[in-house]
Structure 1
Amino acid sequence: MPMTTNSLDVVPLAEPGALSADEGAALYRLMTWLSPAFPVGAFSYSSGIEWAVEAGDIVDAATLRDWLSSMLTDGSGFCDGVFLAHVHRAASVGDVAALRDIAELAAAFVPSKERQLETSSQGKAFIEIARSAWNHNGLERLIAACEGALVYPVAVGLVSAAHRIPLSATMHGFFHAVTSNWISAGARLVPLGQTDSQRVLAALEPVVVATGTRALRASLDELGGATFRADIASLRHETQYTRLFRS
Protein backbone atom coordinates (compact mmCIF):
# COMPACT_ATOMS: atom_id res chain seq x y z
CA MET A 1 0.00 0.00 0.00
CA PRO A 2 1.26 3.48 -0.76
CA MET A 3 2.39 5.43 2.26
CA THR A 4 0.33 8.40 3.24
CA THR A 5 1.77 11.55 4.64
CA ASN A 6 0.10 13.59 7.31
CA SER A 7 0.11 17.18 6.04
CA LEU A 8 0.93 18.38 9.52
CA ASP A 9 4.24 16.52 9.36
CA VAL A 10 5.40 18.23 6.19
CA VAL A 11 7.94 20.99 6.71
CA PRO A 12 7.01 23.85 4.38
CA LEU A 13 9.65 25.39 2.19
CA ALA A 14 10.79 28.90 3.04
CA GLU A 15 8.84 31.60 1.27
CA PRO A 16 10.69 33.26 -1.60
CA GLY A 17 12.57 36.24 -0.24
CA ALA A 18 12.24 35.13 3.36
CA LEU A 19 14.44 36.98 5.84
CA SER A 20 17.67 35.38 6.93
CA ALA A 21 18.36 35.03 10.65
CA ASP A 22 20.54 38.16 10.60
CA GLU A 23 17.95 40.13 8.66
CA GLY A 24 15.20 39.05 11.03
CA ALA A 25 17.28 40.07 14.04
CA ALA A 26 18.04 43.45 12.48
CA LEU A 27 14.36 44.09 11.78
CA TYR A 28 13.43 43.02 15.30
CA ARG A 29 15.91 45.45 16.83
CA LEU A 30 14.98 48.32 14.55
CA MET A 31 11.26 47.89 15.27
CA THR A 32 11.99 47.77 19.00
CA TRP A 33 14.30 50.79 19.10
CA LEU A 34 11.94 52.97 17.06
CA SER A 35 8.73 51.80 18.70
CA PRO A 36 6.66 54.33 20.70
CA ALA A 37 7.15 51.94 23.63
CA PHE A 38 10.94 52.34 23.60
CA PRO A 39 11.61 54.48 26.69
CA VAL A 40 13.41 57.54 25.35
CA GLY A 41 10.74 59.91 26.67
CA ALA A 42 9.54 61.04 23.23
CA PHE A 43 5.92 61.24 24.43
CA SER A 44 6.77 64.22 26.65
CA TYR A 45 7.98 66.45 23.79
CA SER A 46 5.98 68.15 21.03
CA SER A 47 8.70 69.99 19.02
CA GLY A 48 6.78 73.24 19.36
CA ILE A 49 3.45 71.76 18.27
CA GLU A 50 1.89 72.71 21.61
CA TRP A 51 2.48 76.40 20.97
CA ALA A 52 1.28 76.06 17.37
CA VAL A 53 -2.03 74.65 18.64
CA GLU A 54 -2.42 77.46 21.18
CA ALA A 55 -1.59 80.08 18.56
CA GLY A 56 -4.21 78.66 16.17
CA ASP A 57 -1.80 77.44 13.51
CA ILE A 58 -2.96 73.86 14.07
CA VAL A 59 -6.70 73.43 14.61
CA ASP A 60 -7.62 70.13 12.94
CA ALA A 61 -6.25 67.11 11.08
CA ALA A 62 -5.66 69.04 7.86
CA THR A 63 -3.62 71.81 9.47
CA LEU A 64 -1.65 69.28 11.52
CA ARG A 65 -0.83 67.38 8.33
CA ASP A 66 0.34 70.55 6.59
CA TRP A 67 2.46 71.62 9.57
CA LEU A 68 4.15 68.24 9.84
CA SER A 69 4.71 68.02 6.10
CA SER A 70 6.68 71.26 6.28
CA MET A 71 8.65 70.09 9.31
CA LEU A 72 9.57 66.92 7.45
CA THR A 73 10.53 68.39 4.10
CA ASP A 74 11.93 71.79 5.03
CA GLY A 75 12.70 71.64 8.74
CA SER A 76 14.13 69.50 11.50
CA GLY A 77 12.92 66.25 9.93
CA PHE A 78 15.08 66.49 6.83
CA CYS A 79 18.10 67.82 8.73
CA ASP A 80 17.94 65.05 11.32
CA GLY A 81 17.75 62.51 8.51
CA VAL A 82 20.91 63.93 6.92
CA PHE A 83 22.76 63.73 10.22
CA LEU A 84 21.62 60.15 10.74
CA ALA A 85 22.81 59.12 7.28
CA HIS A 86 26.25 60.68 7.61
CA VAL A 87 26.80 59.34 11.13
CA HIS A 88 25.78 55.84 10.02
CA ARG A 89 28.23 55.91 7.11
CA ALA A 90 31.08 57.33 9.18
CA ALA A 91 30.48 54.80 11.97
CA SER A 92 30.31 51.92 9.50
CA VAL A 93 33.83 52.66 8.24
CA GLY A 94 35.26 53.81 11.58
CA ASP A 95 35.90 57.41 10.49
CA VAL A 96 36.53 58.93 13.93
CA ALA A 97 37.20 62.47 12.71
CA ALA A 98 33.99 62.57 10.68
CA LEU A 99 31.96 61.21 13.59
CA ARG A 100 33.24 63.91 15.90
CA ASP A 101 32.53 66.70 13.42
CA ILE A 102 29.04 65.47 12.50
CA ALA A 103 28.02 64.92 16.12
CA GLU A 104 29.20 68.42 17.04
CA LEU A 105 27.35 70.00 14.11
CA ALA A 106 24.15 68.07 14.87
CA ALA A 107 24.21 69.17 18.52
CA ALA A 108 24.53 72.81 17.43
CA PHE A 109 21.89 72.57 14.71
CA VAL A 110 18.81 73.26 16.84
CA PRO A 111 16.98 76.59 17.10
CA SER A 112 16.03 76.70 20.78
CA LYS A 113 16.91 75.60 24.29
CA GLU A 114 13.90 73.28 24.51
CA ARG A 115 14.65 71.58 21.20
CA GLN A 116 18.20 71.06 22.43
CA LEU A 117 16.82 69.46 25.59
CA GLU A 118 14.47 67.31 23.53
CA THR A 119 16.98 65.88 21.09
CA SER A 120 19.87 65.51 23.56
CA SER A 121 17.70 63.86 26.25
CA GLN A 122 16.29 61.36 23.77
CA GLY A 123 19.74 60.70 22.36
CA LYS A 124 21.18 60.05 25.81
CA ALA A 125 18.31 57.73 26.73
CA PHE A 126 18.60 55.85 23.42
CA ILE A 127 22.31 55.23 23.95
CA GLU A 128 21.94 54.18 27.58
CA ILE A 129 19.17 51.67 26.85
CA ALA A 130 21.06 50.27 23.86
CA ARG A 131 24.13 49.82 26.04
CA SER A 132 22.12 47.99 28.69
CA ALA A 133 20.05 45.69 26.52
CA TRP A 134 21.85 45.47 23.15
CA ASN A 135 25.46 46.19 23.96
CA HIS A 136 28.00 45.80 21.19
CA ASN A 137 31.76 45.65 21.33
CA GLY A 138 32.25 48.46 18.87
CA LEU A 139 29.59 50.80 20.27
CA GLU A 140 31.69 52.28 23.08
CA ARG A 141 34.45 53.21 20.66
CA LEU A 142 31.93 54.98 18.39
CA ILE A 143 30.39 56.86 21.32
CA ALA A 144 33.81 57.97 22.56
CA ALA A 145 34.67 59.25 19.09
CA CYS A 146 31.79 61.76 19.25
CA GLU A 147 33.33 63.51 22.26
CA GLY A 148 30.17 65.07 23.65
CA ALA A 149 26.39 65.12 23.74
CA LEU A 150 24.73 62.73 21.32
CA VAL A 151 21.53 64.09 19.88
CA TYR A 152 18.78 61.67 18.89
CA PRO A 153 19.51 61.15 15.16
CA VAL A 154 23.22 60.72 15.92
CA ALA A 155 22.45 58.14 18.60
CA VAL A 156 20.19 56.17 16.24
CA GLY A 157 22.81 56.28 13.50
CA LEU A 158 25.57 55.09 15.83
CA VAL A 159 23.67 52.18 17.33
CA SER A 160 22.22 50.96 14.04
CA ALA A 161 25.64 51.12 12.36
CA ALA A 162 27.28 49.23 15.23
CA HIS A 163 24.70 46.47 14.81
CA ARG A 164 25.08 46.53 11.00
CA ILE A 165 21.46 47.45 10.37
CA PRO A 166 21.11 48.81 6.82
CA LEU A 167 21.01 52.58 6.56
CA SER A 168 17.94 52.80 4.31
CA ALA A 169 15.82 50.73 6.69
CA THR A 170 17.08 52.75 9.66
CA MET A 171 16.28 56.00 7.90
CA HIS A 172 12.69 55.16 7.04
CA GLY A 173 12.09 53.61 10.47
CA PHE A 174 13.44 56.76 12.10
CA PHE A 175 11.15 59.03 10.09
CA HIS A 176 8.13 56.85 10.87
CA ALA A 177 8.93 57.05 14.59
CA VAL A 178 9.41 60.83 14.58
CA THR A 179 6.27 61.46 12.53
CA SER A 180 4.19 59.15 14.70
CA ASN A 181 5.32 60.99 17.84
CA TRP A 182 4.46 64.37 16.33
CA ILE A 183 1.01 63.09 15.40
CA SER A 184 0.53 61.67 18.87
CA ALA A 185 1.31 65.08 20.37
CA GLY A 186 -1.04 66.80 17.96
CA ALA A 187 -3.80 64.29 18.66
CA ARG A 188 -3.64 65.05 22.38
CA LEU A 189 -3.48 68.81 21.90
CA VAL A 190 -6.06 69.57 19.17
CA PRO A 191 -7.50 67.00 20.10
CA LEU A 192 -7.96 64.39 17.36
CA GLY A 193 -9.49 60.93 17.42
CA GLN A 194 -7.57 57.78 16.59
CA THR A 195 -9.04 57.52 13.09
CA ASP A 196 -8.11 61.09 12.17
CA SER A 197 -4.61 60.49 13.56
CA GLN A 198 -4.18 57.47 11.31
CA ARG A 199 -5.47 59.44 8.34
CA VAL A 200 -2.78 62.05 8.95
CA LEU A 201 -0.14 59.32 9.18
CA ALA A 202 -1.40 57.75 5.96
CA ALA A 203 -1.47 61.10 4.16
CA LEU A 204 2.14 61.77 5.19
CA GLU A 205 3.42 58.42 3.92
CA PRO A 206 4.67 59.75 0.55
CA VAL A 207 6.22 62.76 2.29
CA VAL A 208 8.05 60.55 4.77
CA VAL A 209 9.34 58.23 2.05
CA ALA A 210 10.43 61.08 -0.21
CA THR A 211 12.16 62.93 2.63
CA GLY A 212 13.98 59.78 3.71
CA THR A 213 15.19 59.17 0.17
CA ARG A 214 16.30 62.78 -0.16
CA ALA A 215 18.14 62.69 3.17
CA LEU A 216 20.00 59.55 2.10
CA ARG A 217 21.37 61.36 -0.94
CA ALA A 218 22.08 64.74 0.65
CA SER A 219 25.49 66.14 1.53
CA LEU A 220 26.13 68.11 4.71
CA ASP A 221 26.29 71.23 2.53
CA GLU A 222 22.59 70.75 1.78
CA LEU A 223 21.59 71.12 5.43
CA GLY A 224 19.15 73.94 6.10
CA GLY A 225 15.55 74.70 6.79
CA ALA A 226 12.81 77.21 6.01
CA THR A 227 10.24 76.41 8.70
CA PHE A 228 10.57 79.71 10.53
CA ARG A 229 7.13 79.43 12.13
CA ALA A 230 8.05 76.06 13.63
CA ASP A 231 11.32 77.53 14.93
CA ILE A 232 9.39 80.41 16.49
CA ALA A 233 6.99 77.89 18.04
CA SER A 234 9.87 76.09 19.75
CA LEU A 235 11.12 79.43 21.12
CA ARG A 236 7.70 80.67 22.25
CA HIS A 237 6.92 77.41 23.99
CA GLU A 238 9.61 78.19 26.57
CA THR A 239 7.42 80.97 28.00
CA GLN A 240 4.01 79.43 27.32
CA TYR A 241 1.85 79.77 30.43
CA THR A 242 0.11 76.38 30.38
CA ARG A 243 2.07 73.42 29.05
CA LEU A 244 1.58 69.68 28.78
CA PHE A 245 4.86 69.04 26.98
CA ARG A 246 8.50 69.89 27.61
CA SER A 247 9.03 71.41 24.16
Structure 2
Amino acid sequence: MAWLSPVFPTGGFAYSAGLEQAVADDLVSDEASLQSWLETLLTHGSFWNEAVLIAATHRQEDDVESLSALATSLAPTAERHRETLDQGAAFLDAANAWGSADLPRETPLPVALGAVCQSASIPLIDTLTASLQTLISNQLQAAIRLSLIGQTGAARLLAALEPMVLATAARAETSTLNDLGGSAFLADMVSARHETLEPRLFLS
Protein backbone atom coordinates (compact mmCIF):
# COMPACT_ATOMS: atom_id res chain seq x y z
CA MET A 1 0.00 0.00 0.00
CA ALA A 2 2.95 2.33 0.63
CA TRP A 3 4.21 1.73 -2.90
CA LEU A 4 0.78 2.60 -4.32
CA SER A 5 0.03 5.54 -2.02
CA PRO A 6 -0.25 9.17 -3.20
CA VAL A 7 3.21 9.73 -1.66
CA PHE A 8 4.69 7.78 -4.55
CA PRO A 9 5.25 9.60 -7.87
CA THR A 10 2.88 7.18 -9.61
CA GLY A 11 -0.14 8.96 -8.12
CA GLY A 12 -2.79 10.52 -10.33
CA PHE A 13 -1.54 14.09 -10.04
CA ALA A 14 -0.18 14.20 -13.60
CA TYR A 15 -2.07 11.61 -15.66
CA SER A 16 -5.74 11.10 -16.49
CA ALA A 17 -5.39 8.19 -18.97
CA GLY A 18 -7.58 10.07 -21.46
CA LEU A 19 -10.32 10.97 -18.97
CA GLU A 20 -9.66 14.69 -19.40
CA GLN A 21 -10.45 14.44 -23.13
CA ALA A 22 -13.51 12.28 -22.46
CA VAL A 23 -14.83 15.02 -20.17
CA ALA A 24 -13.98 17.72 -22.73
CA ASP A 25 -15.88 15.77 -25.39
CA ASP A 26 -18.86 15.33 -23.03
CA LEU A 27 -18.51 11.54 -23.21
CA VAL A 28 -18.19 11.48 -19.43
CA SER A 29 -20.42 14.13 -17.93
CA ASP A 30 -21.71 12.91 -14.58
CA GLU A 31 -21.33 10.27 -11.89
CA ALA A 32 -23.24 7.59 -13.80
CA SER A 33 -21.25 7.98 -17.02
CA LEU A 34 -17.99 8.06 -15.04
CA GLN A 35 -18.90 4.78 -13.37
CA SER A 36 -19.65 3.21 -16.75
CA TRP A 37 -16.34 4.52 -18.13
CA LEU A 38 -14.34 3.05 -15.26
CA GLU A 39 -16.18 -0.28 -15.39
CA THR A 40 -15.25 -0.57 -19.06
CA LEU A 41 -11.59 0.14 -18.36
CA LEU A 42 -11.60 -2.51 -15.63
CA THR A 43 -13.24 -5.26 -17.64
CA HIS A 44 -12.39 -4.53 -21.28
CA GLY A 45 -9.72 -1.81 -21.35
CA SER A 46 -6.25 -0.79 -20.27
CA PHE A 47 -6.78 -1.55 -16.57
CA TRP A 48 -7.49 -5.19 -17.40
CA ASN A 49 -4.36 -5.44 -19.55
CA GLU A 50 -2.27 -3.89 -16.80
CA ALA A 51 -3.57 -6.50 -14.35
CA VAL A 52 -2.69 -9.33 -16.75
CA LEU A 53 0.83 -7.92 -17.21
CA ILE A 54 1.30 -7.57 -13.45
CA ALA A 55 0.24 -11.19 -12.98
CA ALA A 56 2.48 -12.49 -15.77
CA THR A 57 5.47 -10.61 -14.36
CA HIS A 58 4.75 -11.71 -10.79
CA ARG A 59 4.58 -15.35 -11.93
CA GLN A 60 7.71 -14.84 -14.07
CA GLU A 61 5.76 -16.08 -17.07
CA ASP A 62 8.46 -14.51 -19.26
CA ASP A 63 11.60 -12.42 -18.75
CA VAL A 64 11.28 -8.77 -17.79
CA GLU A 65 12.72 -7.52 -21.07
CA SER A 66 10.14 -9.42 -23.15
CA LEU A 67 7.26 -8.40 -20.88
CA SER A 68 8.39 -4.78 -20.99
CA ALA A 69 8.45 -4.83 -24.78
CA LEU A 70 4.96 -6.34 -24.80
CA ALA A 71 3.62 -3.79 -22.32
CA THR A 72 4.95 -0.80 -24.24
CA SER A 73 3.64 -2.20 -27.53
CA LEU A 74 0.14 -2.32 -26.03
CA ALA A 75 0.14 1.43 -25.34
CA PRO A 76 -2.45 2.77 -27.81
CA THR A 77 -1.04 6.31 -28.06
CA ALA A 78 2.15 8.28 -27.58
CA GLU A 79 0.85 9.77 -24.33
CA ARG A 80 -0.03 6.39 -22.82
CA HIS A 81 3.37 5.06 -23.95
CA ARG A 82 5.09 7.92 -22.15
CA GLU A 83 2.84 7.49 -19.13
CA THR A 84 3.66 3.83 -18.51
CA LEU A 85 7.42 4.36 -18.96
CA ASP A 86 7.61 7.55 -16.89
CA GLN A 87 5.56 6.03 -14.09
CA GLY A 88 7.59 2.82 -14.19
CA ALA A 89 10.85 4.78 -13.84
CA ALA A 90 9.41 6.95 -11.05
CA PHE A 91 8.10 3.88 -9.23
CA LEU A 92 11.48 2.14 -9.37
CA ASP A 93 13.33 5.25 -8.20
CA ALA A 94 11.05 5.60 -5.18
CA ALA A 95 10.94 1.87 -4.39
CA ASN A 96 14.71 1.81 -4.10
CA ALA A 97 14.21 3.05 -0.53
CA TRP A 98 12.99 -0.49 0.19
CA GLY A 99 15.76 -2.18 -1.80
CA SER A 100 13.56 -3.00 -4.81
CA ALA A 101 14.40 -5.37 -7.65
CA ASP A 102 17.24 -4.32 -9.94
CA LEU A 103 15.35 -3.39 -13.10
CA PRO A 104 16.03 -1.05 -16.03
CA ARG A 105 14.48 2.42 -15.63
CA GLU A 106 12.73 1.84 -18.98
CA THR A 107 10.50 -0.80 -17.37
CA PRO A 108 6.76 -0.03 -17.81
CA LEU A 109 4.80 0.43 -14.60
CA PRO A 110 2.82 -2.87 -14.54
CA VAL A 111 5.98 -4.90 -15.18
CA ALA A 112 7.94 -2.91 -12.59
CA LEU A 113 5.18 -3.33 -10.02
CA GLY A 114 4.78 -7.05 -10.66
CA ALA A 115 8.53 -7.68 -10.44
CA VAL A 116 9.09 -5.63 -7.29
CA CYS A 117 6.12 -7.16 -5.46
CA GLN A 118 7.23 -10.67 -6.47
CA SER A 119 10.74 -9.92 -5.21
CA ALA A 120 9.27 -8.74 -1.91
CA SER A 121 7.10 -11.88 -1.61
CA ILE A 122 3.88 -9.86 -1.68
CA PRO A 123 1.08 -12.24 -2.77
CA LEU A 124 -0.18 -11.78 -6.31
CA ILE A 125 -3.83 -11.27 -5.32
CA ASP A 126 -2.84 -8.49 -2.91
CA THR A 127 -0.68 -6.87 -5.59
CA LEU A 128 -3.51 -6.98 -8.12
CA THR A 129 -6.18 -5.72 -5.74
CA ALA A 130 -4.06 -2.79 -4.53
CA SER A 131 -3.01 -1.90 -8.09
CA LEU A 132 -6.54 -1.89 -9.50
CA GLN A 133 -7.84 0.04 -6.49
CA THR A 134 -5.12 2.63 -7.08
CA LEU A 135 -5.95 2.94 -10.78
CA ILE A 136 -9.59 3.62 -9.90
CA SER A 137 -8.64 6.04 -7.11
CA ASN A 138 -6.36 7.98 -9.46
CA GLN A 139 -9.17 8.31 -11.98
CA LEU A 140 -11.53 9.56 -9.29
CA GLN A 141 -8.94 12.08 -8.16
CA ALA A 142 -8.67 13.27 -11.77
CA ALA A 143 -12.46 13.55 -11.97
CA ILE A 144 -12.46 15.74 -8.85
CA ARG A 145 -9.80 18.02 -10.33
CA LEU A 146 -11.81 18.24 -13.54
CA SER A 147 -14.84 19.33 -11.46
CA LEU A 148 -16.80 16.35 -12.76
CA ILE A 149 -17.67 15.06 -9.29
CA GLY A 150 -17.00 16.06 -5.70
CA GLN A 151 -15.38 14.08 -2.91
CA THR A 152 -18.71 12.63 -1.76
CA GLY A 153 -19.46 11.39 -5.27
CA ALA A 154 -15.94 9.98 -5.59
CA ALA A 155 -16.34 8.05 -2.32
CA ARG A 156 -19.69 6.75 -3.51
CA LEU A 157 -18.14 5.50 -6.77
CA LEU A 158 -15.17 3.98 -4.97
CA ALA A 159 -17.60 1.92 -2.88
CA ALA A 160 -19.75 1.00 -5.88
CA LEU A 161 -16.73 -0.19 -7.90
CA GLU A 162 -15.15 -2.19 -5.09
CA PRO A 163 -16.86 -5.51 -5.99
CA MET A 164 -15.73 -5.17 -9.61
CA VAL A 165 -12.18 -4.37 -8.51
CA LEU A 166 -12.10 -7.53 -6.38
CA ALA A 167 -13.64 -9.64 -9.16
CA THR A 168 -11.21 -8.31 -11.76
CA ALA A 169 -8.24 -8.98 -9.46
CA ALA A 170 -9.44 -12.55 -8.92
CA ARG A 171 -9.87 -13.05 -12.67
CA ALA A 172 -6.42 -11.62 -13.40
CA GLU A 173 -4.82 -13.85 -10.78
CA THR A 174 -5.54 -16.90 -12.96
CA SER A 175 -4.95 -15.15 -16.29
CA THR A 176 -2.16 -15.74 -18.80
CA LEU A 177 -0.71 -13.53 -21.49
CA ASN A 178 -3.26 -15.09 -23.85
CA ASP A 179 -5.92 -13.13 -21.95
CA LEU A 180 -4.49 -9.77 -23.02
CA GLY A 181 -6.75 -7.67 -25.18
CA GLY A 182 -9.62 -5.27 -24.97
CA SER A 183 -12.41 -3.48 -26.75
CA ALA A 184 -12.41 -0.04 -25.12
CA PHE A 185 -11.82 1.68 -28.44
CA LEU A 186 -13.37 4.98 -27.40
CA ALA A 187 -10.92 5.28 -24.52
CA ASP A 188 -8.04 4.78 -26.95
CA MET A 189 -9.48 7.36 -29.34
CA VAL A 190 -9.85 10.07 -26.69
CA SER A 191 -6.31 9.34 -25.52
CA ALA A 192 -5.08 10.14 -29.02
CA ARG A 193 -7.22 13.28 -29.20
CA HIS A 194 -5.83 14.47 -25.87
CA GLU A 195 -2.42 14.95 -27.45
CA THR A 196 -3.71 18.18 -29.04
CA LEU A 197 -6.07 19.34 -26.25
CA GLU A 198 -5.35 22.91 -25.08
CA PRO A 199 -5.46 24.01 -22.37
CA ARG A 200 -5.17 20.89 -20.25
CA LEU A 201 -4.41 19.83 -16.68
CA PHE A 202 -2.97 16.38 -17.32
CA LEU A 203 -0.17 14.82 -19.37
CA SER A 204 -2.44 12.06 -20.69
TM (norm. structure 1) is 0.79
* CA deviation vs aligned residue, 1:130-179 (integer Å, no higher than 9, x gap): 11x1115xx22xx25xxx72111111111111111111111100111111
- Contact preservation (8 Å) 1:87, 1:103: no
Gapped regions of structure 2 (runs ≥ 5): none
The residue identity in structure 2 corresponding to 1:187 is I
User: Residue 91 of structure 2 aligns with which residue?
Assistant: 126
- Contact preservation (8 Å) 2:55, 2:124: yes
User: Following TM superposition, by how much is the alpha carbon of 1:62 offset from its aligned partner in structure 2, in angstroms?
Assistant: 0.9
Percent of aligned pairs with the same amino acid: 43
For the pair shown, the structure with the greater C-alpha radius of gyration is: 1
State the distance in 1 between where 2:161 and 2:68 align. 28
User: Residue 69 of structure 2 aligns with which residue?
Assistant: 104
The residue identity in structure 1 corresponding to 2:98 is W
Q: Which has the higher helix share?
A: 1
User: Following TM superposition, by how much is the alpha carbon of 1:71 offset from its aligned partner in structure 2, in angstroms?
Assistant: 0.7
User: Residue 35 of structure 2 aligns with which residue?
Assistant: 65
User: Residue 2 of structure 2 aligns with which residue?
Assistant: 32
Q: How many residues in Structure 1 have an aligned counterpart in Structure 2?
A: 204
Structure 1 consecutive aligned stretches of length 4 or more whose deviation exceeds 6 Å? none
TM (norm. structure 2) is 0.95
User: Residue 42 of structure 1 aligns with which residue?
Assistant: 12
User: Residue 192 of structure 1 aligns with which residue?
Assistant: 149
State the distance in 2 between where 1:129 and 1:80 align. 20
Gapped regions of structure 1 (runs ≥ 5): 1-30
- Contact preservation (8 Å) 2:85, 2:108: yes
The residue identity in structure 2 corresponding to 1:215 is A
Q: Which has the higher contact order (CA 8 A, sep 6+)?
A: 2
- Contact preservation (8 Å) 1:58, 1:190: no
User: Residue 115 of structure 1 aligns with which residue?
Assistant: 80
Q: Cα RMSD (Å) of the superposition? A: 1.4
